[in-house]
Amino acid sequence: MSLDQHRHKKQFGQHFLHERGIIERILLALNPQPGERIVEIGPGGGALTFPLLARHGRLTAIEFDRDLIGPLSEAAREHGELEIVHADVLDVDLGALAGGGKLRLIGNLPYNISTPILFHCLDHAAAVRDMHFMLQKEVVDRMAAAPGSKVYGRLSVMLQAYCEVTALFRVPPGAFTPPPKVDSAVVRLVPKAAEKIGIADPALFARIVRDAFGQRRKTLRNALAQICSGEAIAAAGLRPDARAEQLTVAEFASLANTLAAHPRLPGTKP
């Protein structure tokens, strides 16, 4: 079977990019350089894979659909050296794949599992130099949202705490086969250096962000009742009657660090 004969699988969220102008813009944003370890997540029909191979010469791709492995390998031979990892990206140890270096990640992510993939990449951020992903535009809007925005939430805070997030450009449905029912967008994420993150207890930080946005209409005092008291929130310099969408990423970090440094503050839960 050739790539042209492949039937798109709805369960895998397959929408294959074909618009050459968009492909060129993505490659220009990535700007691959000699010697870099580039990993593509979900190569699909190879729309990004083959032009990237032609420019860079070598590429690792993570593909879950078994039916695409053979056709991709065959078609890639005339473009460069393609290593295919047949796996669900959520099961791939990106740190091990980096081999002590840094990966540059790229991909048109399956929209049905894009958020879990983002958090998986975040878990391996120490092994990642940057990420260039195509996602549903609504998700990119949430990733880059500022405090006070209606779409500012857990995804915004968690990603912005650990990465510089830049929305690059919109991609219309017609750039894909089959066309999705929504607009897409390309986003760049650059993991921050450890000293710039400034979060003492990542697990506590993640729990605070999750609970704070769990019920958006609740005040911090009520939303975080299982973690700490209003007095402890005030000790971090925050208003207990504020709501999660009003807090900056730095303020979430300040609250988490205060609780981590002073676990005996009144009302703080273990």
211 is in an annotated binding site: no
Same domain, 40 and 148: yes
Q: Looking at the domain assignment, is residue 269 inside a domain?
A: no
pLDDT of residue 266: 56
Q: Looking at the domain assignment, is residue 175 inside a domain?
A: yes
pLDDT of residue 16: 77
Pairing status of strand 37-41 against strand 58-63: parallel
Q: How far from 23 is each of 19, 50, 124, CA to CA, in Å?
A: 6, 11, 26
The pTM of this model reads 0.89
pLDDT of residue 265: 63
**pLDDT by residue for the chain (270 residues), tens digit each?**
434 444 444 444 446 788 899 999 999 999 999 999 999 999 988 999 999 999 999 999 999 989 899 999 999 999 999 999 999 999 999 999 999 999 999 999 888 889 999 999 999 999 999 999 999 999 999 999 999 999 999 999 999 999 999 999 999 999 988 888 899 999 999 999 988 999 999 999 999 999 999 988 899 999 999 999 999 999 999 999 999 999 999 999 999 999 998 876 655 665
In the chain, the number of structural domains is: 2
Cα–Cα dist 186/188, whole Å: 7
Q: Looking at the domain assignment, is residue 238 inside a domain?
A: yes
Cα–Cα dist 152/245, whole Å: 6
Long-range (24+ apart) CB contacts under 8 A made by 68-71 are 68/3, 68/6, 68/43, 68/44, 70/1, 71/1, 71/2, 71/3, 71/6
Q: Is the peptide bond before 266 cis (omega within 30 degrees of 0)?
A: no
pLDDT of residue 10: 42
Q: Identify residue 222 by its one-letter amino acid code.
A: N
82 is in an annotated binding site: no
63 is in an annotated binding site: yes
17 is in an annotated binding site: yes
Same domain, 59 and 181: yes
Pairing status of strand 58-63 against strand 81-86: parallel
Same domain, 252 and 171: no
Pairing status of strand 184-191 against strand 128-136: antiparallel
Q: Looking at the domain assignment, is residue 268 inside a domain?
A: no
> What does the block give as tokens for 116?
């879990």
Last residue of a domain, one of 151, 166, 194: 194
Q: Looking at the domain assignment, is residue 266 inside a domain?
A: no
Same domain, 189 and 214: no
As beta bridge partners, residue 191 has 163
42 is in an annotated binding site: yes
CATH code of the domain covering residue 236:
1.10.8.100
257 is in an annotated binding site: no
CATH code of the domain covering residue 155:
3.40.50.150
Residues spanned by the domain of 19: 3-194
